[in-house]
């Protein structure tokens, strides 16, 4: 079996859905499992619903209606007959969403987030599955929540590999086209969980691992893995082949093409990963597999914006020792703040972090009791793999460099734009 993953950009409208069909005509669809994300910016729209649910109830109904309207237009563009079963199926999912909004009793934000935001994937795969059947492809729609089992760490759940392996190996049918949702799972009480934002790649890897798949292909709107994000760097170049090790390094530092957790299960079973273009599906793209690091031949740039640079120093000028650092990292863990760079001296400790759950203000009040805390918001972290002087100079031009760290193969630079 081969596993294909299609992200939100590939299914953002009716033309995108039709293009997925065309890609399958060219790449083949027998004995294939599709992992599919929510359509376009639906996840963002559902996050607005969540915000309105907690903060602006007067806006709640209209924010749900906007999402309904968006998906209904896609249905009307795909299906001539409004009596087609897909209309009723999609409406049933929206009814489930509205029932939850009306009857939920839990005040737990992360729990509510997962129950609501998951509807994007459920609806997109319902539409795609019906369209593939409409076009004559034997299709099996799979609710991933019945297969990928996790703990109850909502918004960043950990997979129960033993139970997930058992569910997938025993119940996934081969030969037909299987369509399921990325990003989702369920806990022991069958409440929906999510695997972290952009977790659909990880879902593809989970299924590939459990099915001993032939390969995984991630279909993107770029030719493959580039040495830099074309949005930020001109003349970005395609990496034709990279090893698991190099791909894991790039993912660890934040390369957006491959999710950080995707590669480990693939590497364990030496399942090759391909990153290819859904615009030009016959192009070779990038191959990620076991082997010597033949590429990249040139620097690779990774950009993480909206970072927070925090500097902690002891109030009494005493040394920052192991026990202090241990305590600080425990707090980062407790408040779900991701650390992307560390630098320490005798009496200070600096970290560049990502506060995606917006917990820093609360954490800052705790840290300030023991340390002098200074921080700079909205900084940018550049990571350059296989750096050279020219690459570093290009990053630093017209910016204020706040911190720089260099190792044998990697340079990281924290910058602030010059106003």
Paired tokens of 269: 């079973």
Look-up of token digits 């806006």: 59
Paired tokens of 55: 């903060």
Phi, psi of 69 (to 5 degrees): -60, -45
Spatial CA neighbour of 288 closest among 340, 335, 238: 238
DSSP helix/strand/coil, 145? helix
Strands 215-220 and 273-277: parallel
| Edge-to-edge strand ranges of the sheet holding 338-344 | 338-344, 348-354, 300-314, 371-385, 410-417, 399-406
Strands 371-385 and 410-417: antiparallel
43 annotated to bind ligand: yes
Whole-angstrom distance, CA of residue 123 vs CA of residue 140: 15
Cis-peptide into 296, omega within 30 deg: yes
- Is the four-CA dihedral 115, 119, 120, 126 of positive or negative sign? positive
105 annotated to bind ligand: no
121 annotated to bind ligand: yes
Paired tokens of 298: 């040139």
DSSP helix/strand/coil, 385? strand
Look-up of token digits 């019906």: 130
155 annotated to bind ligand: no
8 annotated to bind ligand: yes
C-alpha 202: how far from chain center: 8
Give the CB-side neighbour count of residue 300, counting CA atoms within 13 A.
24
278 annotated to bind ligand: no
Whole-angstrom distance, CA of residue 313 vs CA of residue 3: 49
Paired tokens of 325: 């650092």
Q: Where are the alpha helices (DSSP H) in 28-108?
A: 42-55, 60-78, 85-103
Whole-angstrom distance, CA of residue 213 vs CA of residue 56: 46
* Partners of residue 301 on adjacent β-strands: 384
Whole-angstrom distance, CA of residue 57 vs CA of residue 49: 9
Burial 260-275 (b: 16+ CB within 10 A, else e): bbbbebbbeeebbbbb
Paired tokens of 143: 């609710």
Q: Where are the alpha helices (DSSP H) in 135-186?
A: 161-171
7 annotated to bind ligand: yes
Question: Annotated binding site: which residue ranges?
Answer: 5-8, 43, 121, 231
Annotated binding site for ATP: which residue ranges?
5-8, 231
- Feature table: binding site for substrate: 43, 121
């Amino acid at each position: 079996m081969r596993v294909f993953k299609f992200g939100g950009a590939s299914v953002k409208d009716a033309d995108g859905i039709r293009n997925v069909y065309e890609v399958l005509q060219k790449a083949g669809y027998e004995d294939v499992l599709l992992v599919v994300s929510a359509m376009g910016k639906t996840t963002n729209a559902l996050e607005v619903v969540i915000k309105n649910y907690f903060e602006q109830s007067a806006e709640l109904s209209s924010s749900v209606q906007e999402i309904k309207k968006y998906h209904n237009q896609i249905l009307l563009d795909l299906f001539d007959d409004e009596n087609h079963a897909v209309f009723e199926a999609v409406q049933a999912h929206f009814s489930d969403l509205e029932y939850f909004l009306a009857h939920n009793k839990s005040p737990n934000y992360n729990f509510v987030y997962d129950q609501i935001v998951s509807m994007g994937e459920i609806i997109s795969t319902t539409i795609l599955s019906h369209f593939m059947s409409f076009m004559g492809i034997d299709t099996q729609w799979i609710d991933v929540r019945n297969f990928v089992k996790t703990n109850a760490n909502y918004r960043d759940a950990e997979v129960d590999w033993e139970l997930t392996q058992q569910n997938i190996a025993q119940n996934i049918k081969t030969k037909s086209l299987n369509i399921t949702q990325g990003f989702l799972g369920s806990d022991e009480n069958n409440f929906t969980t999510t695997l972290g934002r952009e977790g659909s790649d990880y879902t593809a890897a989970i299924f590939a691992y459990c099915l001993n798949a032939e390969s995984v292909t991630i279909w993107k709107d770029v030719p493959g893995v580039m040495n830099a994000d074309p949005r930020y760097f001109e003349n970005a170049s395609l990496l034709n082949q990279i090893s698991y090790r190099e791909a894991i390094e790039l993912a660890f530092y934040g390369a957006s093409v491959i999710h950080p957790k995707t590669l480990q299960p693939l590497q364990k079973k030496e399942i090759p990963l391909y990153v290819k273009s859904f615009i030009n599906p016959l192009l070779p793209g990038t191959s990620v597999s076991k082997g010597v690091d033949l590429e990249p031949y040139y620097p690779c740039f990774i950009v993480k914006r909206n970072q927070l640079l925090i500097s902690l120093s002891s109030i009494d000028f005493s040394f920052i020792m192991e026990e202090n650092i241990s305590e600080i990292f425990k707090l980062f863990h407790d408040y779900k703040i991701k650390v992307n760079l560390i630098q320490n001296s005798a009496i200070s400790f600096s970290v560049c972090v990502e506060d995606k759950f917006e917990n820093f203000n609360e954490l800052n009040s705790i840290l300030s009791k023991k340390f002098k805390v200074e921080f700079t918001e909205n900084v940018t972290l550049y990571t350059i793999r296989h750096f050279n002087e020219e690459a570093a100079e290009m990053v630093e031009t017209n910016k204020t460099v706040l911190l720089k760290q260099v190792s044998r193969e990697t340079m990281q630079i924290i910058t602030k734009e010059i106003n």
